[in-house]
């Protein structure tokens, strides 16, 4: 067998056993994207579980507040008459 022919056969054998560089790159990107999605999804699930609101029909603690008119308002004043929505505005200074 001639040198050139032997060299061609060696190249074919080598290329058949080694994957194409573009395939390796695609595989790395696929693994990277899947890993990123897993991390982001897992982080979102943890954040959601930690920041859940109170369960429906859970009784709120009793409180009283001073109105801008000077009158004292308590939760009991409104409990059986209407729904109460309490808003907290958080300001970071």
Residue bearing the bigger pLDDT, 76 or 1: 76
Residue 84 lies inside a defined structural domain of this protein: no
CA dist 38 to 34, 41, 54, Å? 6, 5, 28
Is position 83 within any domain? no
As a residue count, the chain comes to 93
- HSE-CB for 57 with a 13 A CA cutoff: 0
Q: Is residue 88 part of a domain?
A: no
**Does residue 55 have a pLDDT over 80?**
no
For the chain, what is the domain count? 1
**What are the beta bridge partners of residue 64?**
74
In a domain, 33, yes or no: yes
The tokens describing 37, both together, are 């999605």
Is a pLDDT exceeding 80 seen at residue 16? no
Mean pLDDT over residues 55-67, rounded?
78
Domain assignment of residue 10, yes or no: yes
Residue 49 in tokens: 């579980």
Give me the chain's average pLDDT, please. 80
Range of the domain at 21: 3-77
Q: What is the pLDDT of residues 41-52, one digit of tens each?
A: 888 888 877 776
């Amino acid at each position: 067998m001639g040198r050139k022919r032997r060299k061609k056969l060696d190249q074919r054998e080598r290329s058949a056993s080694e994957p194409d560089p573009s395939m390796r790159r695609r595989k790395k990107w696929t693994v990277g994207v899947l890993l990123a999605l897993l991390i982001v999804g897992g982080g979102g699930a943890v954040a959601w579980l930690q920041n859940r609101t109170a369960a429906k029909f859970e009784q709120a603690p009793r409180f009283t507040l001073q109105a801008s008119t000077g009158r004292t308002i308590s939760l009991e004043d409104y409990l059986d008459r209407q729904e109460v929505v309490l808003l907290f505005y958080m300001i970071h200074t």
